[in-house]
Amino acid sequence: MSATRELSKLVDNLASDKVGIGVDNPTEKMQVSGNILASGHFESSAGFFINDINISSDYTLPNGKNAMTAGPVTVDDGVTITIPDGGTWTVT
């Protein structure tokens, strides 16, 4: 995809007050397809962080990382969650 086309999509998205990274037609203010790395903290002025309550595909926690999920959470039959040695997955 050309840089000109990518810039055109960004301008179109900004005109609609939405930004997509790796997403052609974002439906939210910011929509990302992929991982996000932040060096600071993440805040919600609404006071809510929403996550899926159903895990439907295998997931392996990266080495040296921990994870937290707000529960209750359901892991579908046949789905494997792998936590490497030294890692922790906390469901609160």
Q: pTM for the complete prediction?
A: 0.54
DSSP line for the chain: --HHHHHHHHHHHHHTT-EEES-SS-SSSEEESS----SS----TTS-----SEE-S-EEPPTT--EEE-S--EEPTT--EE--TT--EEE-
For residue 41, is pLDDT > 80?
A: no
Q: Among 2-6, 22-26, 48-52, 75-79, which range has the highest average pLDDT?
A: 75-79
**What is residue 85's predicted lDDT score, i.e. its pLDDT?**
93
Summarize pLDDT for 4-39 with one digit per residue, the tens: 666 666 666 667 788 888 888 888 888 888 888 777
